[in-house]
Amino acid sequence: MYGIKDMTLVLPERISGLKELAYNLWWSWHPEGRGLFKLLNRKGWYLSNHNPVKMLNSMDPAAIEAASRDPHFLRHYDAVMARFESYTDISSGWFCSNVADPKKYSIAYFSAEYGLHHALPFYAGGLGFLAGDFLKEASDLGVPAVGIGFMYPQGYLRQMISPEGWQVGACEILDRKNAPIRKVVDDKGEPLSVKVPVIDPPIHLEVWMVQVGNTALYLIDTSSEANDPWNRCISDRLYTGDLEQRLRQEIVLGIGGVRVLDALGISYSVLHLNEGHPAFAVLERVRDMVEGGAVFSDAFEDVRSTTVFTTHTPVPAGHDVFSYQLMDKYFASYLPTLDLSRDEFFRLGMNPGSSTGFNMTAFALRCSAYRNAVSKKHQSVTRKMWNPIWPDLPEEKVPIDHVTNGVHVPSWIDRRLGDVILNRYLGRNWLEEHDQSRIWELIDEIPDDVLWRHHNVMKNLLITRIRDRARTKWLEQSADSRLVMALGVLLDPNALTLGFARRFASYKRPTLLLQDLSRLKKILNDTWRPVQIIYAGKAHQDDQQSKQLLQQVFSAAKDPSFGGRIAFVEDYDELLAQYLVHGVDVWVNNPLPPMEASGTSGMKATLNGVPQLSILDGWWIEGYNGKNGWAFPGAEGQDRDAMDAAEMYDLLEKEIIPLFYDVDVEGIPHRWVQVMKEAIKNTGPNFCARRMVKEYTDKFYRKAIESAMKSKTRKTKEDFKAELFKRI
């Protein structure tokens, strides 16, 4: 048995449900939940940065006691708690009605990172927010999922920019006592400890839990005092550049994650690997069966037939590869427990196109019956990349499917747009059916002025937020005036505003719009039709090239000849992302094709009526219909950056800027608003996490559950190995 240790604050019995509500991220995508905490303590909600656990811990007990006797607050409390309790009943959910009994079959979802809310900063970028959106939508649909990941106590970079434009900063230490996260304890109230013997000496794991609606997410922590000091830091930081430390992390995530679920008594029918990082979970599932008396052949086939693997990385360099010497160091004593030889194990991780080491993606592909890329384009790229694993098959027959990513609509759509405008024109039940295209056709019923005025409110909120951040920087004693000016204090709410916000990496080409500075200055500084660009994003701490690109952007932001029409907003996080995808006029995306596997930031923007200007890569190949934004195919050759930049300048000068400034006597750009409406109509049903999770269920989970139910025809171990390794 195990339990949960939470904050020591004792709430009055009448409103004791606030504690459970605060620790369940349900409130993060239900406005009524956030509204209840705001009603309790508006100032505290703001000062806690929208973190109810921190807010409650810092409140005066007398104020909480007064709220428990306030009829106005209690009416809201009772209504919210009734809806919260109704939500937690998954017996009436989509999965139960359409797939299987959620009490009998569940999915273990393993990912190296999760982006859920800025109160829990242990994410890096798109992969994490995709995983977070998956858990939220699984909860909404009643899909019986359980998440496994890492609790990175020092993994979040707080970005600061020096006056010279160089990214500096420090890792933020997670304040666990004031975050919606709880430690898992045993029946004696002591921290639950799970041992991973693969690493010598064995690693002792502690476990934290985040409740995401109906979905539990368990996070591994190696900082236990039972570990040697050099082992306590395994889970400190996300995506370390030290290959041996990364291998240790992936052993702990995969093998340790399975052991954590076992220690918690959580059984599951399907294993879903989000990227190759947790793929060693397959080995531990097999080992557990072999230890129980099964032969390797039966155990491997049982595990393979119930494993789903999602790959996100479209370039070979992005896949983890570990030297055979390093693999020997950590797996020599583990393999005998699987009844698997060293040679057989290494062949499972062999990439036929390269013999440099053990490839985690090749291993995951061979150990999974269901494999998918994250867009149609990414599927073709992935099939070509991994065709050598199936050398007898033509590229188009390589058994890698695709499920295009989607975003969790309740989390990313602006509350005012959803609760006020869409409720009125689409019907109050639009959110329950938001993966149905017919619902979104009613977007055309929204008057142009209503949608346009809403967007201008969001744009003003964004610019106000940016100016407030710059003002805070100015108040710091060490602030440099040049730095503050570059942070956006001169932004104009009436100017056409482009947004470029994402992780800074060379393949994303953040400096593409800066290719021709003289032409760009002419575009931005037009007296009658001005344009401005807001940049935001972080470079990996070890990526010097990306830091240099960021410095180039910041130098342009400081350049007075641009008139303050380029801004770089430091410390990009989930909260700032919300403001940006709601408030800019055009979302810009210009990676080097085909290196954008999917890209979800553009989905979040277009969902809110912000058209995208993007190269045709990732999801935009499927999403662009000629009416919902702008696209260009991308050039090839040595001068591709210059040619792509020229294409973007042309689109701005000839199409985007004239359309934006074509307004009637009341200032409404009707033709522009039609593009906004088309963007919402297309993204809402087709690129939502609801469609995505249903697609995973229909394509993979149903079949994997059926495999789990069936008894297999067993082969001898020797026959199975002969057949398996003949194929490799």
More confident residue, 156 or 126: 126
What tokens were used for 292? 């129980």
Q: Which CATH number fits domain 409-687: 1.10.3210.10, 3.90.79.10, 3.40.50.2000, 3.40.50.1370?
A: 3.40.50.2000
Query: Under a CB-based contact definition with an 8 Å cutoff, are residues 120 and 181 in contact?
Result: yes
Counts for the chain of helices (H) and strands (E), in that order: 33, 21
Terminal Cα-to-Cα distance of the chain (whole angstroms): 42
Over the chain, what is the mean pLDDT? Answer: 93
Tell me which amino acid residue 494 is: N
Query: What angle is formed at CA 236 by the lines to CA 54 and CA 536, rounded to 5 degrees?
Result: 70
What pLDDT score was predicted for residue 352?
Answer: 87
Query: Under a CB-based contact definition with an 8 Å cutoff, are residues 288 and 255 in contact?
Result: no
d(CA 133, CA 28): 12
What pLDDT score was predicted for residue 712?
Answer: 47
pLDDT at 703 over 80: yes
What pLDDT score was predicted for residue 706?
Answer: 93
Query: Under a CB-based contact definition with an 8 Å cutoff, are residues 380 and 394 in contact?
Result: no
More confident residue, 352 or 684: 684
Question: Same topology for domains 105-405+694-727 and 409-687, yes or no?
Answer: yes
Assign 171 to helix, strand or coil.
strand
Assign 671 to helix, strand or coil.
helix
Q: What is the mean pLDDT of the segment spanning 643-664?
A: 98
What pLDDT score was predicted for residue 158?
Answer: 82
What pLDDT score was predicted for residue 726?
Answer: 55
What pLDDT score was predicted for residue 125?
Answer: 79
For the chain, which residues make up each domain, given as ranges?
Answer: 2-88, 105-405+694-727, 409-687
Which tens digit of pLDDT belongs to each residue from 25-78?
999 999 999 999 999 999 999 999 999 999 999 999 999 999 999 999 999 999
Q: What is the mean pLDDT of the segment spanning 110-120?
A: 94
Assign 316 to helix, strand or coil.
helix
Tell me what percent of the residues of the chain surpass a pLDDT of 90. 81
In whole angstroms, what separates CA 109 from the centre of its chain?
14
Tell me which amino acid residue 722 is: A
DSSP result, 426-470: H-TTGGGGTT-HHHHGGGGGS-HHHHHHHHHHHHHHHHHHHHHHH
Give the residue among 409, 411, 407, 433 at the shortest CA–CA distance from 131. 407
Cα four-point dihedral sign 324, 327, 329, 332: negative
pLDDT at 714 over 50: no
In whole angstroms, what separates CA 277 from the centre of its chain?
15
Classify 105-405+694-727 by CATH class: alpha beta
What pLDDT score was predicted for residue 452?
Answer: 98
Which tens digit of pLDDT belongs to each residue from 567-619?
999 999 889 999 999 999 999 999 999 999 999 999 999 999 999 999 999 99
User: Rounded to two decimals, what is the model's pTM?
Assistant: 0.95
What pLDDT score was predicted for residue 484?
Answer: 84
pLDDT at 721 over 80: no
d(CA 682, CA 603): 10
684-703 burial string, b = 16+ CB within 10 Å, else e? Answer: bbbbbbbbbbbbbbebbbbb
pLDDT at 716 over 50: no
d(CA 506, CA 591): 9
64-103 burial string, b = 16+ CB within 10 Å, else e? Answer: beebbeeeebeeebeebbeebeebeebeebbbbeebbebe
Which tens digit of pLDDT belongs to each residue from 394-453?
999 999 999 999 999 999 999 999 999 999 999 999 999 999 999 999 999 999 999 999
pLDDT at 713 over 60: no
